[in-house]
Amino acid sequence: MDADHNAMTNPADRNTALAARDLKHIWHPCTQMHDHAMTSKGGVPMLPIVRGEGAWLIDAEGRRYLDGISSWWTNLFGHANPRIAAALAEQARTLEHVIFAGFTHPPAIELAEELVRITPPGLDKVFFADNGSAAIEVALKMSFHYWLNQGHGEKTRFIALTGSYHGETLGALSVSDVALYRKTYAPLLLTPILAPSPDAYEGKPGEPPAQVAARRVAELRALLECHAHETCAVIVEPLVQCAGGMRMYHPDYLAGLRKLCDEFAVHFIADEIAVGFGRTGTMFACEQARVSPDFMCLSKGLTGGTLPLSAVLTTQHVYEAFYAEYSAGKAFLHSHSYTGNPLACSAALATLAIFRDEPVLERNRALAAHLSRRLEPLRDHPHVAEVRQTGMIAAVELVADKATRCPFPAEDRRGLRVYLHGLRHEALLRPLGNVIYFMPPYVVNEAEIDHLVAAATSGIEQAVV
Ligand SMILES: *Cc1c(COP(=O)(O)O)cnc(C)c1O
């Protein structure tokens, strides 16, 4: 920001001035830009954030917002975390970037070693990319190419779950099933085979989550009996389908999926981009089913929410299917200019060092229990169908009718009302449709959790009338 420009602006108008400059040139993600037109009927403010501090974001006029969604699920240890910032500054003075073909560097080497050490057994090879969607593209291509190299070029399809979200580049969007993102672009996409999600909310009335999981495993078996011969992999978000509405399921599904993938010779791709790094209570969600996937995609929390970076971990066995004389033409072909960026790797190393040095998962268990207690009263609310939680992710499902679970029409945009209410009450809540969720940075304290829940609860009261 231009300091002179800021000094000349009346402090009370700094947000407005920056928002106007932003809207003149910037096109924002996941946004109908018209929403930001401020009219007499209202509008959604474009908020310029100039500083971050722990779980808080601070705007140009000094107003604070508690980041209840970890800035799109990326932040783990607070904004402007001093330890990560110091590692970054040191790396920036040493080596900012180098081509990653034919060259390597200590931060990437150390990060690969550490990722192999902490992920489930058998994941011994690391391929870097620079965002979550790119990691999905890598996993899809690598799985297909593995089968091709093994003489199975007829395997060209993927099985994905209903309600899944794996990103928005064309390949990743192809295996996603959230209509909001997919519908418009469907003519451009691959056609996945959709398996019914083990989502416990979609179970039969009174059906326990483990039973929903068992039923969905049986349905997946039936699909594989028809399609395994043409299928490269089954891709899932372990335990929580996040963008699909924080829908949660029983770990038994992952154990059943692992067995079926072995039996039918298809890969298991675990997209832990949102749920990895402690979100669900364990370092990785797959641990709760004691399974190792064939591919694990990581991003978001990987750098503690500091820089874009992703990694796809896979097995020595997969790696060997590509390892041959150059003339065999079996090499994996996928490259991004910023692959393995040293700055991003050093931010990731500093993040993983915090996990090593501090009892993060233990602290999170106490915070998650506190969040759960605070959300308890909402269960009785006449417009809340369910309050659900897996570790540091909690969600409140708003409905028009509690008995039938009939949803509010999407066009009501009731979640948006909660969002706007949150901003007026120093809280960043960003509901997914009618699902109000909490995914705070791990540095929140109990008082801050109380603040978030209070803002959400009064927001819900406003939104359901
Ligand atoms: C966010 C997300 C992605 C995509 O990551 P981007 O970095 O936003 O491209 C993929 N899968 C899951 C489960 C995600 O939550």
> DSSP secondary-structure letter at 294?
S
Q: At residue 163, what are phi and psi to the nearest 5 degrees?
A: 75, 10
- Residue 225 belongs to some domain of the structure: yes
Q: Atom of ligand 1 at shortest distance to CA of 237?
A: 13
Residue 167 · residue 132 · CB < 8 Å: yes
- The answer on pLDDT for 2 being more than 60 is no
* Domain interval for residue 157: 84-357
- Give pLDDT, residue 12: 78
Same domain, 353 and 259: yes
- The answer on pLDDT for 247 being more than 60 is yes
Q: Atom of ligand 1 at shortest distance to CA of 168?
A: 9
CA of 380 to the centre of ligand 1 (A): 33
- Give pLDDT, residue 41: 79
- Give pLDDT, residue 39: 84
CA of 18 to the centre of ligand 1 (A): 29
246: left (phi over 0), alpha (psi -120 to 50) or beta: left
CA distance 298 to 395: 23
Same domain, 368 and 282: no
Q: What is the pLDDT averaged over residues 370-384?
A: 98
Query: Domain ends where: 311, 339, 357?
Result: 357
- Residue 23 belongs to some domain of the structure: no
Q: What is the pLDDT averaged over residues 24-36?
A: 97
- Residue 8 belongs to some domain of the structure: no
Q: Which residues pair with 158 in a beta bridge?
A: 233
365: left (phi over 0), alpha (psi -120 to 50) or beta: alpha
Tens digit of each residue's pLDDT (9 = 90 or more) over 199-245: 999 999 999 999 999 999 999 999 999 999 999 999 999 999 999 99
Same domain, 347 and 365: no
Give 40's pLDDT tier (boundaries 50, 70, 90): confident
Q: What is the pLDDT averaged over residues 20-40?
A: 95
Same domain, 59 and 118: no
Tens digit of each residue's pLDDT (9 = 90 or more) over 140-188: 999 999 999 999 999 999 999 999 999 999 999 999 999 999 999 999 9
Count structural domains, the chain: 2
Atom 12 of ligand 1, nearest CA residue: 166
CA of 166 to the centre of ligand 1 (A): 6
- Give pLDDT, residue 7: 57
Report the chain's mean pLDDT, rounded to a whole number. 97
CA of 94 to the centre of ligand 1 (A): 30
- Give pLDDT, residue 11: 78
Burial code (b: 16+ CB inside 10 Å, e: under 16) for 90-107 equals: ebeeeeeeeebeeeebeb
CA of 4 to the centre of ligand 1 (A): 38
- Give pLDDT, residue 48: 98
CA distance 198 to 176: 15
- The answer on pLDDT for 290 being more than 70 is yes
Q: Residue 345 maps to which CATH number? A: 3.40.640.10
CA distance 154 to 131: 29
Query: Domain ends where: 326, 357, 388?
Result: 357
Same domain, 275 and 367: no
- Residue 26 belongs to some domain of the structure: no
Same domain, 176 and 199: yes
Same domain, 384 and 395: yes
**Helices and strands (H, E) in the chain, number of each type:** 15, 16
- Residue 215 belongs to some domain of the structure: yes
Residue 390 · residue 371 · CB < 8 Å: no
Q: Residue 433 maps to which CATH number? A: 3.90.1150.10
Same domain, 101 and 228: yes
- The answer on pLDDT for 6 being more than 80 is no
CA distance 432 to 38: 23
pTM of the model: 0.97
- Residue 19 belongs to some domain of the structure: no
- Give pLDDT, residue 42: 83
The residue among 279, 275, 315, 265 whose CA lies nearest residue 142 is 315
**Burial of 8 by CB count in 10 Å (0-12 exposed, 13-18 middle, 19+ buried)?**
exposed
Query: Domain ends where: 324, 357, 390?
Result: 357
- Least confident range from 10-24, 46-60, 72-86, 264-278: namely 10-24
* Apex 136 CA angle, 133 and 137, nearest 5: 90
Same domain, 120 and 206: yes
Strands 427-428 and 64-67: parallel
Length of the chain: 465
Same domain, 239 and 135: yes
Helix (H) or strand (E) run with residue 341 in it: none
* Full strand arrangement of the beta sheet holding 435-438: 384-390, 393-398, 435-438
Same domain, 344 and 380: no
Same domain, 350 and 276: yes
- Residue 202 belongs to some domain of the structure: yes
Q: Compute CA 75 distance to the chain's CA centroid, rounded to the nearest angstrom.
A: 11
- Residue 135 belongs to some domain of the structure: yes
- The answer on pLDDT for 3 being more than 60 is no
- The answer on pLDDT for 21 being more than 70 is yes
The amino acid that residue 285 corresponds to is A
- The answer on pLDDT for 38 being more than 90 is no
- Give pLDDT, residue 8: 64
Q: What whole-number percentage of the chain has pLDDT above 90?
A: 96
- Give pLDDT, residue 270: 99
Q: What is the pLDDT averaged over residues 279-301?
A: 98
Q: Which residues line ligand 1 (CB under 6 A)?
A: 131-133, 136, 165-167, 237, 242-243, 271, 273-274, 299
Q: Compute CA 461 distance to the chain's CA centroid, rounded to the nearest angstrom.
A: 28
